[in-house]
Chain A
């Protein structure tokens, strides 16, 4: 059993966030008191200010920032919205109450700070993330849960009402939803030596049934397509805090390859955030070369699939290694294969044959 190696306890994380929020609040207060118009400096998130940091192995924002001032009447409204969100985030963090993007949109209406639509409030949330350099999950704003986790991992809840309560995640075969309570829980201990992130719920269930967790000493995570940020945060914590390697299994197409890439090195949309990436994570399939190798049934690529191939070829992260190689093969064969394609050779073919081979191969990646 691995002992927890918690660098940054969740409690401290909240404390730190509250400190930052308070600091911002105090600055605005001071400005008003001295007759100044308060302002926020927000890192610029436009494409021109997003660049790939090779050292960090993720997209980061450049040094450009834009000023949002209460003096400027065209910014006054969004300034107020941003300050309100900071105020609201502070409240959520204090009370450890989780909320969703949609909750935020509706909550604003109680304070005469109206958002025209959820799109506007979602934008302000990203603004606050950028100002604080913290993902929204840190201030208790969560996406709808659709990803889940299963395996021998014991956690200890920190959310109000469950504080100190422990839970082993291998007792329920449908897995556990990765929600606020999971993301904020302490990772106590585990017998697993590996984390397998899998794109699809169907395969996740198959893996549980086939006891992949036991056979391969692994924690299985269903990302539900593109991994939500809370799932990515959890993956990172599993890797960093418990020293578990992370491997990723996706459909054999260009989107699958990119799901793996986002877990590994983040997305341009979240360039303002750190701590969301698992740079050591490994994509082990389904590769383009696997299609031929395992004689998988294929589906022809659509127009948009092909376009996506060419788009990704311009991405700096796809310029080397298997990322480059596999993308080139996809572009060439213009075919794709789903995870379920292995069922042609029997339902357990994927866990019995493909998975062990790939895991062996991954070690050398």
Chain B
């Protein structure tokens, strides 16, 4: 009994309920902010992936406005995305860890649990159901009201309704304990900064005090959607390689009813009972059209001399290539039996290849991005492996050696950024220009790089003067198009900005009207904490940030010296305007002339020089 209690499983819902602090729901202030983020980011992701220009309306309303904070609020986020088909709605919003976001591509959320956590938190604090309105086909809107059964990790639908509507999209509304008086600034910052990094989205925020923050889309083009891709060799670790080996299609397939069904189907022998020799004959005939797993099963059957019925009664224990034996367990007799394998047979080759796995070069070219056949051979030379080495035969030591070599070899091309969705230089610049209205701005998108095998791209923008207040350097940090607002002190971007010697770039960093926008895109942003608010200082990322900032700083410095020149010209013109009339006056009296000399032209020329410098800076 006692042992049973000890190993009692808890449902994922219950786990997160007990550990909600981890996901950013520690107190009413933080929870309100986190809930806003989760819903807005889900909406943006949904719109991005379906290629719709996002139009998101977020509303926070106090249930009882006269009560002091913290109090109950109703948070509603409505988007124009693809919606969720009605049959998926209960699972998507009623269970924890339901989502489609596992895979190597960039998205705002990572595990699809944030939104559910928000719902869970709302339910815990107010015991009110979540209201979901989804329209995925442009014809019918499905309305749900439901609660989460925490112990069973299952939705409990309270109300279900259907209405005809042509407006696609999703609206989620929850009631939760929050503290808007404290979280308000962060939420407004979040909305503002999100609009900066998502300039193609229209975002509206109706705050509890009746104020409306409307950020209209600035551009009408969306960055290309990311695709799912294989990992890059740089920085991949032994464990990942081991998993990739297991994950190949080359393992001996599990021979179950489903598999047997598949074999029968491919041979065209679905219906009746067939003898072993019938099967082998058919196999010879159809070999070329068969899929690999089916071939492997048939190879096994050839040595076991088994028909489908016999196959159902055995379990393969070992393919012993050294002794050419096939070891298997026979359920009918409950004993281990051994079958010989004919080395000459092509079935043997099939089996041997499968068990030993692919050749190293094949493994590298097929399983990794950016590795071609030539690069693979070159790498083998570098790592002192034979190109034809079978990965399935590699010892742990060899795997470590392989992993080390993958990280040190310099011949691989940089990671494929197609799995990333950077904003792009032009949209970023437009966003910066429209939101900040600076005198000068510049952006840069670095080429993709990788840390620990995860590709990342740094985008950075710099803005100076204009409508920017002279409060010193302000840094806006983004990761995967999410603004990072908390914990900025320990962030790698700030570290890089702080370590820059701004004097070198003619900028007084403590008083300059300077804004830096940094965007890190990666399939996995290395956050320091679960709260996803600050990026860890991985050397690869730090280096890229530094290079990006140096590039922009040099541009700024160019602008500053031009600006300095223009200011100097203006100052000169001012000085001439002040002193030349005096000089004219004195020399006229001194020389005994009656009329003053014509010096206006000289002042004008000097003033024009200043104007020219100004125009030049505008056109650049």
Contact = CB atoms under 8 A, between A and B. Distances in A.
Interface in B565-620: 571-572, 575-576, 579-580, 582-584, 586-593, 597-599, 601-602
A29 B601 contact: no
Contacts of B587: 25-26, 28-29, 32, 38, 83, 87
Nearest to A24: B590
B591 A83 contact: no
A217 B575 CA distance: 61
Contact of B590 (A21, A33, A77): A21
A315 B584 CA distance: 45
Contacts of B583: 28, 32, 38, 70, 79-80, 83
Contacts of B584: 32
A84 B581 CA distance: 12
A24 B588 CA distance: 11
A28 B588 CA distance: 9
Closest 5 CB pairs of A and B: A25-B590, A25-B591, A32-B597, A28-B587, A26-B591
Given A70-B579, A83-B583, A22 B592 contact: yes
A304 to B, nearest CB: 43
A31 to B, nearest CB: 8
Interface of B: 571-572, 575-576, 579-580, 582-584, 586-593, 597-599, 601-602
A76 interface: yes
Nearest to B581: A112
Contacts of B579: 70, 76-77, 79-80
Contacts of A35: 601-602
Contacts of A90: 589-590
A113 B593 CA distance: 21
6 contacts: A25-B588, A32-B583, A32-B599, A79-B579, A84-B582, A86-B586
Contacts of A80: 579, 582-583, 586
A37 interface: yes
Given A32-B597, A37-B602, A87 B589 contact: yes
A353 to B, nearest CB: 57
B572 A83 contact: no
Interface of A: 21-22, 24-26, 28-30, 32-33, 35, 37-38, 70, 73, 76-77, 79-80, 83-84, 86-87, 90, 111-113
Interface of A is mostly: helix
A32 B579 CA distance: 12
A118 B592 CA distance: 29
B501 to A, nearest CB: 29
B597 A33 contact: yes
A183 B602 CA distance: 44
A285 to B, nearest CB: 48
A24 B601 CA distance: 22
A30 B582 CA distance: 15
B591 A28 contact: yes
A90 B589 CA distance: 9
Given A37-B602, A112-B582, A29 B588 contact: yes
A29 B590 CA distance: 9
Contact of A87 (B571, B576, B580, B586): B586
Given A29-B597, A73-B575, A79-B579, 18 more contacts: A22-B590, A25-B588, A25-B591, A26-B593, A28-B586, A28-B587, A29-B588, A32-B583, A32-B587, A70-B583, A73-B571, A73-B572, A76-B575, A76-B579, A86-B586, A87-B587, A87-B589, A90-B590
A97 to B, nearest CB: 16
A83 B590 contact: yes
A86 B588 CA distance: 12
A87 B599 contact: no
A21 to B, nearest CB: 6
A255 to B, nearest CB: 41
A222 B591 CA distance: 40
Contacts of B572: 73
A76 B589 contact: no
A33 B598 contact: yes
User: B587, B593, B598: which has the most chain A beta carbons within 10 Å?
Assistant: B587
A329 B581 CA distance: 60
Given A22-B591, A29-B591, A83-B583, A76 B597 contact: no
Contacts of A76: 575-576, 579
Contacts of A87: 586-587, 589-590
A113 B592 contact: no
A35 B576 CA distance: 13
A77 B579 CA distance: 7
Contacts of A32: 580, 583-584, 587, 597-599, 602
Contacts of B586: 25, 28, 80, 83-84, 86-87
Contacts of B576: 73, 76
B609 to A, nearest CB: 12
Contacts of B582: 80, 83-84, 111-113
B580 A70 contact: yes
A33 B601 CA distance: 10
Contacts of B580: 32, 70
Contacts of A79: 579, 583
A70 B575 CA distance: 10
A28 B590 contact: yes
Contacts of B598: 32-33
Nearest to B573: A73
A113 B581 CA distance: 11
B594 to A, nearest CB: 11
A86 to B, nearest CB: 6
Contacts of A38: 583, 587
A112 B584 CA distance: 13
B534 to A, nearest CB: 49
A39 B382 CA distance: 74
A94 to B, nearest CB: 11
B90 to A, nearest CB: 78
A21 B589 CA distance: 11
